[in-house]
Amino acid sequence: MTTCRDYASHNPVDVRRMIREGKWDRPTSGMCSGYAQGNLVVLPKDLAYDFLVFAQRNPKPCPILDVTEPGDTEPKIVAPGANLATDLPRYRVWKNGTCIDEPTDVTKYWSDDLVGFLLGCSFSFEGALLQANIPVRHIELDCNVSMYITNRACIPAGRISGQLVVSMRPIPAELIPKAVLCTGRFPAVHGAPVHIGEPEALGIKDISKPDFGDSVPIHKGEIPVFWACGVTPQAAIMATKPEFAITHAPGHMFIADTRDIDYAVF
Amino acid sequence: MTTCRDYASHNPVDVRRMIREGKWDRPTSGMCSGYAQGNLVVLPKDLAYDFLVFAQRNPKPCPILDVTEPGDTEPKIVAPGANLATDLPRYRVWKNGTCIDEPTDVTKYWSDDLVGFLLGCSFSFEGALLQANIPVRHIELDCNVSMYITNRACIPAGRISGQLVVSMRPIPAELIPKAVLCTGRFPAVHGAPVHIGEPEALGIKDISKPDFGDSVPIHKGEIPVFWACGVTPQAAIMATKPEFAITHAPGHMFIADTRDIDYAVF
């Protein structure tokens, strides 16, 4: 079976075409190395303003990379010519806060009323961690990152509210300063961690039982480091139950034509 | 006559009260040292979504710090209890792209339909320049910064479009790297410069004739350095002529309770 790694050096246009043609329905971590990947949130125009304000008030979990015109599926800023309704390997379709479908194409759901948002993804800063020789456990184990719904409320906006979701990476204590600095360069893709150690203070009772993703072991000498996570809008959708929404399925991201380095501030 | 410098160590709550009571109607540069100041843009709710998308697509000139609820004048995130209709020393009121009034209070104009936006201001990074011993000419001369409408179009959004406006500071050649690094720390308040030298390439025909602000001399050994400017939305208002808008008068900013350092990424 081919793996993501086999597509590390492919370009985004080719990989999106392969996905659109139904030839890839698995996670995208590691594909098109160096290119930015994005979280997808699609909402009715009526809610799009509230979501933009929610993102402005909570930029660490919700860094917006692109916004489509109502009814249009093309992310003109980050990938002209691409189609957000077909170019992700798997979607989640939400009605009143419940996931009702996990298709590989959402063309039939995309009405004239919908607005698509692409949000920055931690895959962008994981490249920076690896380049700095900082180990990333879930990549080593070829599993999904651990994600937790915290006790920290996002700042609400209009009808949208919810708790902050964080992703966790165990980092050797002596490498944590470097991990903070090299992810802090990327404020548009979650940036520096929001919390280092002390999971209880975030309301995480059992670090071995994440709310999303896989459980990832923490070795002796390592501290759990928490970053704001792009799954936060999905938690907000579960909490605020909009009539209709579409998101990506966790790990099954949109691959943009922009590069990780385009989102570095220095 | 008292000057801004006399209020450098005052706190924002006291200075906003003085402004609200009509005791200060002059520029705010240098007041409440260390506290963030903001550009104001007020638009009808109908245009607020387009403006949020415009800001998302043009984050360097339009970094949004706060968005009010429709009809509300309180910037709850950056200054709870403050009033955007009274707490700036001078405003501009726009009808169909033309400035029709420059009052010191806009309470009578603030209808239930209006949304207020506060945008980051270069005063925040000028503090960082001064701390790094980089001279800031217009502060030395106690005049306004030079601003130019460039030949670079912002990425339009809905009904909002316009050219990028830049501010210019002459910087000694050997200090330019430090100026780039220390302003790059503040992406939420315009961040690193957008252009160094070569004003002709930005469409600036005569550097001694700015479109806004005062002419600032460039000495031998100095290069004009250009930063994205928060007057860009005013240029967009002049270009797209919305039925109604309110902005601050250039230099007459809102003083927030948040601090410049709150907007640093490292």
A163 Cβ partners below 8 Å, 6+ apart? A149, A150, A151, A152, A153, A154, A232, A235, A239
> Per CB distance under 8 Å, which residues of B are interface residues toward A?
48-49, 52-53, 56-57, 64, 67, 77, 155, 157, 181, 184-185, 187, 191-192, 265-266
| CB contact (8 A) between residue A187 and residue B192 | no
* ipTM of the complex in this document: 0.83
Chain B residues with CB-CB distance to A77 below 8 A: 57, 155
For A151-208, the pLDDT digits (tens) are: 999 999 999 999 999 999 999 999 999 999 999 999 889 999 999 999 999 999 999 9
Token readout for B143 is 């005049």
> In degrees rounded to 5, what are phi and psi of residue B217?
-70, 145
Rounded (10°) CA dihedral B217, B126, B8, B2: 20
- Write down the mean pLDDT value for chain A: 95
Pairing of strands A146-153, A222-228: unpaired
Whether the CB-CB separation of B234 and B211 falls below 8 Å is answered with no
Report the residue from A56, A77, A265 with minimal CB separation from B187: A265
pLDDT value at residue A206: 97
Which of A21-30, A71-80, B25-34 has the highest mean predicted lDDT (pLDDT)?
A: A71-80
Q: Which among B53, B67, B61, B35 is positioned nearest to B190, based on CA atoms? A: B61
Strand partners, B226: B168, B195
Cα R_g (chain B), whole angstroms: 17
Chain B interface, mutation test: which of A47, A56, A154, A262, most B Cβ atoms within 10 Å? A56
pLDDT value at residue B30: 84
- List the single residue in A with minimal CA-CA distance to B75: A57
Chain B interface, mutation test: which of A43, A47, A49, most B Cβ atoms within 10 Å? A49
Query: Higher pLDDT residue, B4 or B38?
Result: B38
How far apart are the CA of B182 and the nearest CA of chain A, in angstroms?
A: 10
Please name the residue that has the structure tokens 């010191």.
Answer: B104
How far, in Å, CA of A117 to CA of A67, rounded?
5
C-beta atoms surrounding B36 within 10 Å: 29
Q: Which among A126, A147, A160, A149 is positioned nearest to A58, based on CA atoms? A: A160
Say if residue B172 is exposed, middle or buried (CB neighbours under 10 Å; 0-12, 13-18, 19+).
Answer: middle
Token readout for B90 is 């001078």
How far apart are the CA of B228 and the nearest CA of chain A, in angstroms?
A: 15
How far apart are the CA of A142 and the nearest CA of chain B, in angstroms?
A: 31
pLDDT value at residue B76: 97
How far apart are the CA of B65 and the nearest CA of chain A, in angstroms?
A: 8
pLDDT value at residue B142: 85
How far apart are the CA of B13 and the nearest CA of chain A, in angstroms?
A: 22
For A33-67, the pLDDT digits (tens) are: 999 999 999 999 999 999 999 999 999 999 999 99
For B128-187, the pLDDT digits (tens) are: 999 999 999 998 898 889 999 999 999 999 999 999 999 999 999 999 999 999 999 998
pLDDT value at residue B2: 80
How far, in Å, CA of B59 to CA of B54, rounded?
8
Q: Which amino acid is at A9?
A: S
pLDDT at B266 over 80: no
Identify the three-state secondary structure at position A139: helix
A113 Cβ partners below 8 Å, 6+ apart? A44, A45, A46, A70, A71
pLDDT at B60 over 90: yes
pLDDT value at residue A63: 96
Strand partners, B212: B147
A67 Cβ partners below 8 Å, 6+ apart? A48, A52, A115, A116, A117, A118, B53, B56, B57, B157
- List the single residue in A with minimal CA-CA distance to B191: A265
pLDDT value at residue B210: 96
Identify the three-state secondary structure at position A50: helix
- Write down the mean pLDDT value for chain B: 95
C-beta atoms surrounding B256 within 10 Å: 26
Whether the CB-CB separation of A150 and A164 falls below 8 Å is answered with yes
Strand partners, A90: none
- Per-residue pLDDT band for A2 (boundaries 50, 70, 90) equals confident
Whether the CB-CB separation of A15 and A253 falls below 8 Å is answered with no
| CB contact (8 A) between residue B191 and residue A265 | yes
